[in-house]
Chains A and B, each alone.
Chain A
Amino acid sequence: MSTTQTDTRVVSPLLRIAPTGMYARRARMLVERSVLVSRKMWLIILSGFFEPLFYLLAFQVGFGKLVETVQGPGGQTMSYVAFVAPALLASSAMNGAVYDSTFNIFFKMRYQRLYEGVLATPLGPLDIAMGEISWALVRGVLYAVAFFAVVSGMGLVTSPWALLMVPVAILIAFAFAAIGMAATTWIRSTTDFGLIQLVLIPMFLFSTTFFPLSVFPGAVQVIIQIFPLYHGVELMRGLATGVLDPSMLGHLAYLVVLAVVGMLVAARRLRVLLLR
C-alpha cells in the first residue's frame, strides 16, 4: 500500500477547510464529560449567576441614587438602572464565556494534560474546540435566562423585543468563548493571564456599560466602537428598550464573524500545540 496516495474521498465543507483528522463529529462526548464534572461543581456554576445580580443590586440601591436618569438609545431619557441592566447581561455573558474558555482550558491543557488523552482517541482538535465551546454556551444560556427573568421581574425591560436578548447573550458568549480559547493557545504560563485581564477589564468598563458613549472624547469613541463587547451592549440595549435600527445588523455581523474566526483559529492552534 502506498503511503503517498492522494485523498480522493468526498469530505464535508467543514472538513475541507480543516485538514483531515481535525474533526470526528464527536464534540458532544466532551460536553458529556463536562456535565459529569459539573455535578461536583454546582456551587461554582451557581455563583456565576450571582455576580451580575450583585451588580444589578448595587445599581438599584446605590449608583442609581447618584444618577437618576441618562440618555438611552434614540435619545430618550431612561432610568439609570434600566440603562445598565442590558449591558450587565452582555458583559456577564462575556465574562462567563472567557473564564470557561481561558483559565479552565489552560489548566486542562497544561496541567491536567486532558486533551493529550482525548487526542489519542479518534477525536480531533476541532472536536475539542467545539465540545468545550458548546459547554461554555450551555452555561451561558442558563445564566442569560436566569438574569433575564430577574431583569424583567424588576420591570427593567419595556419591549417584547427584549425576548431576543437571550439568543444575543448566547451569541456574545459564543464569540468570546471562541476568541478566548484561541487566545489561550498562546498562553505560556499562568502569569500571562494578566494579559487577558488587560483586555477584558477595560472592555468591561468602557463598552458603554456604565455610561453613554457621548461621555468619551471623539477620538476615544472610535476606539470604543472596535470593542466586541460594545456591539453586544448596543444590541442588548436596543432590544431591551425596543428602539431598533439597521445598525444592529452590523453589530450582529461583527459578533458572528468573531465567533467563526475564533473557533477556526482555536482548532488550528490546538493542532499546532498538541499534534506536533
Chain B
Amino acid sequence: MPQVSAPTTQATGRVVRSPHAAWLRVEGHWQWYRRHWHSTLFSSIAQPILFLVAMGMGFGSQVEPSEATRNLPYLVYLAPAMLVVGALQNAVGESSYPVLSGFKWQKDYWAVTATPITPGQLLAGQQIWIALVIGFNGCAFVLIATLLGAVQSPGILLSLLAMVLTGMACSAPVVALAATVTNDGNAFNGIFRFVVMPMTLFSGTFFPVSQLPEWAQPVVWLSPLWHGTELSRAAAFGGAEFGPVFGHVAYLVGLFALGIWLARWRFRRRLVV
C-alpha cells in the first residue's frame, strides 16, 4: 500500500513573456497542422490553382490580349490577382470557423487562457499563424503558376508581400466577428455570400474595374481585394507609382489595425469575465 507522504507538489510559477507566449501558440497550431495538413491542402492551394487554370487557360483561351488585359495573355494577367484572391479566401476561411470553434466547439481558447497566456497573446498567436499559412500557400501558388507558364517576371515575388498584407487586412476583422458570434456561425455564410463572393468577382480580378458602372467604382475602393490586386499587379508587371502604392498600403494596414483592435477587445470580453 502506498504510504501517504507530505505534500511535495510545487508549481513552476513561470510566466512566459509576450512575444514568446504568442509563439508558443503558433507552435500549438503547427502541431495540429502537422497531423492535418493534407486536409487543408485542397482549399488552400489547389482551389486558387484550379480557378487560375479554369479562368486563365480555359476562359482565357477565348480572350484576345487587349488594353483591358494590359496587352498580356489572359493567364499572365490573371495570375497576380488570383494570388491575392487566394489570400482573401484563405484568410476568411482560417479566421471564421476555426476561431469560433476555439470559443465554442473545441473550446481550446479557454484551455489556453487558463494558463499564464493572455487573450491578447492568444490572438497574436492566431494572427501570426494565419499570416504564416497565407504566406506559405502563396509561395506554393507562385511555384505552380510559374510551372503553368503564368509568370513572366520575378516581380511576382514582391506580389507575395501584397498578398500577405491583403490576407491579414481581411483576416483581422473576421477574427473579431468570429469572437463575437455565439450561434452556429450563420453570420459567416452571409460573409461568404455577400462579401467574399461579390468582392472576388468585382474587384478587378477578372476584368478591369473601369468596366463597372460609374456609381459602383467608389464601392470598389472599399474592397481590400481591389487594393491588394492593384499592388500585386504593380509588383508583377511594373509601372508602380508612389502615390497609389502608398494609398493602397495605408488602406490595408488601417483595416488590419482596426480589425486587430476590435478582435482584441472581443477576445478580452469573451475570455476574461
Q: Do chains A and B touch in the complex (CB under 8 A)?
A: yes
Is the beta-carbon distance between B59 and A51 smaller than 8 angstroms? no
The stretch from B23-31, B60-68, B236-244, B248-256 touching chain A is B60-68
Is the beta-carbon distance between A107 and B194 smaller than 8 angstroms? no
Is the beta-carbon distance between A51 and B193 smaller than 8 angstroms? yes
In the assembled complex, the Cα of A107 lies from the Cα of B68 at a distance in Å of 45
In the assembled complex, the Cα of A216 lies from the Cα of B53 at a distance in Å of 11
In the assembled complex, the Cα of A36 lies from the Cα of B213 at a distance in Å of 41
- Asked whether B153 is an interface residue with its Cβ less than 8 Å from the other chain, the reply is no
Residues of B with C-beta under 8 A to A192: 39
Number of B residues near A (Cβ < 8 Å) is 39
Residues of A with C-beta under 8 A to B55: 205, 210
**Interchain CB contact (< 8 A) of A67 among B42, B47, B50, B63:** B63
Residues of B with C-beta under 8 A to A202: 50
Residues of A with C-beta under 8 A to B46: 198
Is the beta-carbon distance between B62 and A54 smaller than 8 angstroms? no
Residues of B with C-beta under 8 A to A70: 62
Is the beta-carbon distance between A65 and B211 smaller than 8 angstroms? yes
**Interchain CB contact (< 8 A) of A54 among B43, B47, B68, B197:** B197
Interface size bracket, A side? 35 or more
Residue of B whose beta carbon sits closest to that of A47: B193
Is the beta-carbon distance between B43 and A194 smaller than 8 angstroms? yes
**Interchain CB contact (< 8 A) of A191 among B40, B186, B212:** B40
Residues of B with C-beta under 8 A to A43: 186, 190
Residue of B whose beta carbon sits closest to that of A67: B62
The stretch from A55-63, A178-186, A235-243, A248-256 touching chain B is A55-63
**Interchain CB contact (< 8 A) of B50 among A107, A195, A205:** A205
Contact A210 B189, CB 8 Å, known A54-B197, A62-B211, A197-B47: no
- Asked whether B184 is an interface residue with its Cβ less than 8 Å from the other chain, the reply is yes
- Asked whether B109 is an interface residue with its Cβ less than 8 Å from the other chain, the reply is no
In the assembled complex, the Cα of A211 lies from the Cα of B61 at a distance in Å of 9
Is the beta-carbon distance between B194 and A50 smaller than 8 angstroms? yes
Residues of A with C-beta under 8 A to B50: 201-202, 205
Interface contacts (Cβ under 8 Å), in number, total 93
Residue of A whose beta carbon sits closest to that of B44: A194
Contact A65 B68, CB 8 Å, known A44-B186, A107-B184: yes
Residues of A with C-beta under 8 A to B202: 58, 62
Is the beta-carbon distance between B47 and A211 smaller than 8 angstroms? no
Contact A210 B59, CB 8 Å, known A55-B201, A62-B201, A201-B50: yes
- Asked whether B14 is an interface residue with its Cβ less than 8 Å from the other chain, the reply is no
Residues of A with C-beta under 8 A to B207: 58, 61-63, 65-66
In the assembled complex, the Cα of A47 lies from the Cα of B212 at a distance in Å of 22
Is the beta-carbon distance between A215 and B194 smaller than 8 angstroms? no
Most chain A CB neighbours (cut-off 10 Å) among B46, B61, B184, B193: B193
Measured between C-beta atoms, what is the minimum distance from B64 to chain A in Å?
8
In the assembled complex, the Cα of A43 lies from the Cα of B50 at a distance in Å of 30
In the assembled complex, the Cα of A62 lies from the Cα of B190 at a distance in Å of 24
Contact A66 B198, CB 8 Å, known A61-B212, A197-B42: no
Contact A205 B212, CB 8 Å, known A191-B39, A191-B40, A195-B42: no
User: Which B residues contact A (CB, under 8 angstroms)?
Assistant: 36, 39-43, 46-47, 50-51, 53-55, 58-59, 61-63, 66, 68-69, 74, 97, 105, 184, 186, 189-190, 193-194, 197-198, 201-202, 206-207, 211-213
User: Which A residues contact B (CB, under 8 angstroms)?
Assistant: 41, 43-44, 47-48, 50-51, 54-55, 57-58, 61-63, 65-67, 70, 80, 107, 111, 190-192, 194-195, 197-198, 201-202, 205-206, 210-211, 215-216
Can you give 5 contacting A-B residue pairs, CB < 8 Å?
A47-B189, A62-B211, A63-B207, A205-B51, A206-B54
Closest 5 CB pairs of A and B: A205-B54, A62-B207, A191-B39, A58-B201, A67-B62
